[in-house]
Structure 1
Amino acid sequence: MPWPATIPREPRMFARRWVLSVLGVLWGGLLCLPLLLVSCLPLSTRFSRRILGWERSRQQRCFGIVLTGCAPRRGPVALTGLLALAAVIPVLNLLTGFVFVTVGSLLQGLFAGGGVTISFSLWTMSQPTILVGVLYGAANLIGAVVLAELANWLHGRIDASVAVVSRPNARHSRISELLTTRRGVVVAIDDERRRIERDLHDGVQQNVVSLSVLIARAQRATDPDKVSALLNSALVQSQDLIDEMREVAWRVYPTALDDQGLGSVLNRIADHCPVPVRILELPDRRLPQAVESAAYFFVREAVTNVVKHAGAQSITIRVHDGTDGLLAEVVDDGRGGADPTGSGLQGLARRVNALDGQLSIETATMKGTTVRAEIPYE
């Protein structure tokens, strides 16, 4: 079931992490004894490989722990099994208390009434059943989450002794990603400003200077025929200037994107590209303005990179509305070997990351390049 749209993204991220950590501890309760058994057997057997595969899947799916260069050893496997056993007992006890105490207090408070008397040596106090039950249940739930997070951290420490551990979904990774994206947005804006300045200087400004020279020559000329020819040239030059201004404005932001949608502007890219372009798929509905804009600039810049560097004979564009966002793909049959660290692809990555999207590149020498962007939206 999707999260309510009113809940911000970061609280959803933390809630999902905590739920997965608790589920990971419960899953570990099922694997703790098999892991202890595996630590006493050769790790190369089929049974051992299957159990270790389940354990790696548990840690990756529930704890967000990704292992590279993993070389399992009996000692860490035994520690993992003991940790899973030690964590599941108190967590399961706390969850049981949360469920039964909370449900019982709610039922008694709503239907039977009464309170709970708390007695000490020097005094006694009475509190409503619902209040005590909810607070006790919340304390149990918080305790279960804290223990699950502790088990998560300890599993990472054990894994670090046999493999390189990364946590792509951890809090610090998310913050670093956001900081990097923010810097990338600033760089992308500066790059766009420099590109516009070059377009104005190399194109529009040169046409304006040329038009000014023609008009000045027409003012100085005395022969009517020559004046007429110069004015005709100036008129042609002014039309070229208008076309140039329209082209610059289109590259900054095409108004047709707002009026007619993504399909119209992508078809215009295909019509004006010197390399044959096929558009295989387009969204059949309007999408959020920011998503359509990002998809347009992604496709435009990807096609520009192909024309400049790939030596391709054809380009294929596919843009479709997926379950979690918009998927845009540009495929060419060029020489391949695209460098993900190059300025062109880095610019694409910054533009996609600005909307919390992901850019992937598949390239092989003489087999073309596929650039794919996933842009999420709600």
Structure 2
Amino acid sequence: MLQQVGTLVARRTTGLLAGAAGALVQLVFVAVLVLAMLPVIRWRRRRAALLRAAWPGTRALAEWDRRRLARWFAVSAAEPVEQRRVVTFLALRSMSGLLAGAILGLVCWGLVTVFVMLRSWLLDVPADYTEGADQVTTGTVLVAVLPGAVLLYLALQGLAGVVGLERRLAHHYLGRSRNELLQRRISELAESRAGVVDVVDAERRRIERDLHDGVQQRLVALGVLLGRARRGADAERRDELLRAAHEETQAVLDDLRQVAWRVYPSALDTLGLEEALAVLAARPGVPVEVECHDCGSLPEPIATAVYFVVSETVNNAVKHAAATRVDVAVRRENGSVLARVSDDGVGGADPDGGGLSGLRRRVAGQDGTFGLVSPAGGPTVVEVTLPCG
């Protein structure tokens, strides 16, 4: 615990020191830019030309600050895109950086003062090393302890406030505005909604095709067998037809079970995601190794999406990739579910194909991310991340 706290303090201090040094450069840049704009403030074209000329430097300074915040403060900010907002960010950030530098300077001065005072008190020597100077007594140390502790606490709180201020400045001014983000989010939701509708329609067409080409054809064959058995006069022939009809009935039941599982696996409700994937792995075909970690109590839509992604990917590996082994790993991590399916097939999967594009739209409907790596010759790896809390 103490090691983690020490590491955190060291990272924050390094980030603040770097920010204080960069603040001087940013302040000078903003000041020069403002002074250069004063003569052309009334001419829009000249002003725009000046801003365009200054944009590379503006963006470079903001990008440096963005990387500093990401490295030392774990702040994820978008890339700078709008110059006016970026210039405002640099101006405000330079002020916060100079404030952090001033606070750090006061802390260093206080630590040096404490070191000199303790050295004088412990070694019984004057604090300023001059002839006739007073020595530090125990009473002086005790009187200075309480104000020093209070000032140190206030300084640390000030540094924490600067860190929070820089986070808010980065989130507010870098990247796109709030309205632009809302518009982008609305577009994403509209696109994912349309994708979900397409996925549902595709699932309905596939179910209809499975019923028509599989179950319906087997039922027709079953009817033919029963009709021939009913009309047959030879008892031995009739028994053979009835035996064939019974086998056909078992095949029809298997097909219906497969279609039902593709519609919705009931094991998800009764057994959970881990057991449903285990049932999927037990189906005939290539060996499937499943590893689940902390997959219990997942939201139903998330568990369903994970199951269908794994199921469809395994089916593709068996049917199209000529795979001899499939590995499935599902784990819960940092409020998300990560699912990874890999096979040793021939590779070359088309990300825009009907099956994979449908999976991508299904995942997007849950605000997840879908990744595919499938070079020619294999292996094929599908990785999906879905938020779950």
TM-score (norm 1): 0.61
CA shift, 1:49, in A, is 12
Instruction: Tell me, yes or no, if structure 1 residue 64 matches structure 2 residue 70.
Output: no
Matches within 5 A, 1:284-303: 285-303=296-314
Name which of 356, 381, 386 aligns with 1:370.
Answer: 381
Q: 1:190 aligns with which of 171, 180, 201?
A: 201
Q: CA deviation at 1:173?
A: 1.7
Give, in angstroms, the shift of residue 268 of structure 1.
2.0
Counterpart of 1:211 in structure 2 is: 222
Q: Deviations over 1:57-106 (max 9, x none)?
A: 37985652367xxxxxxxx89x955762168779xxxxxxxxxxxxxxxx
Could you tell me how far apart the structure 2 residues matched to 1:86 and 1:37 are? 13
> Are the structure 2 counterparts of residues 50 and 261 from structure 1 closer, same or farther at C-alpha, using a change threshold of 3 Å?
same
Question: Which residue in 2 is equivalent to 1:170?
Answer: 181
Structure 2 residue aligned with 1:304? 315
- 2:25 maps to 34
Letter in 1 for 2:91: L
For 1:33, give the aligned amino acid.
Answer: L
Are residue 238 (structure 1) and residue 249 (structure 2) matched?
yes
User: 1:53 offset after TM fit, Å?
Assistant: 4.8
**What is aligned with 2:90?**
84
Aligned pairs (5 A) from 1:2-21:
none
Paired residue for 1:358? 369
From 229, 236, 248, the counterpart of 2:259? 248
Deviation, 1:361, is 1.9
CA distance in 2, matches of 1:317, 1:203: 29
Q: After TM superposition, give the deviation of residue 313 of structure 1 in Å.
A: 2.8
1:116-135 matches, cutoff 5 A: none
Q: What is the CA distance between 1:179 and its match in structure 2?
A: 0.6
Residues 296 and 52 (structure 1), Cα distance of their counterparts in 2 relative to 1, 3 Å cut: same
What is aligned with 1:162?
none
Contact 1:28 1:84 in 2 (8 A): no
User: Which whole-Å CA distance do the structure 1 matches of 2:260 and 2:336 have between them?
Assistant: 28
Which residue identity is paired with 2:215? Answer: V
Question: CA 1:172–1:59 in 2, change beyond 3 Å: closer, same or farther?
Answer: farther
Which of 336, 340, 343 is the matching residue for 2:347?
336
Q: d(CA) in 2 for partners of 1:166 and 1:307? A: 47
**1:252-280 per-position Cα deviation (integer Å, ceiling 9, x unaligned):** 11212211111222122222252222223
The 3 A distance-change label for structure 1 pair 187 and 284 is closer
SS, match of residue 272 in structure 1: coil
| Offset of residue 166 of structure 1 | 11
Q: Aligned letter for 1:34?
A: V
Work out the percentage of aligned pairs sharing the same amino acid.
Answer: 39
Q: Distance in 2 between matches of 1:87 and 1:282?
A: 43
Q: How far 1:290 sits from its partner (Å)? A: 1.8
Question: In structure 2, what is the equivalent of residue 55 of structure 1?
Answer: 65
Distance 1:150 1:355 in 2: 25
2:337 alignment partner, one of 326, 336, 348? 326
Aligned residues: 271
1:146-200 alpha-carbon deviations (Å, 9 max, x no partner): x969973xx66xxxxxxxx999x92222111101110011001001101101110
Give the helix-richer structure, 1 or 2.
2
Give me the TM-score of the superposition, normalised by structure 2.
0.60
- Measured after TM superposition, the shift of residue 217 of structure 1 is 1.2
Q: Cα 1:88–1:288, aligned 2, differ >3 Å: closer, same or farther?
A: same
Cα distance in structure 2, aligned partners of 1:211 and 1:150: 67
Asked if the contact 1:66/1:166 (under 8 Å) is kept, the reply is no
AA of the residue aligned to 1:57: R
SS of the equivalent of 2:250 reads: helix
3-state SS of 2:383 partner: strand
Question: How far is the alpha carbon of 1:227 from its aligned partner?
Answer: 2.2
Structure 2: stretches of 5+ with no match in the other structure: 1-17, 33-57, 97-164
> Is the CA contact 2:63–2:79 (under 8 Å) kept in the aligned structure 1?
no
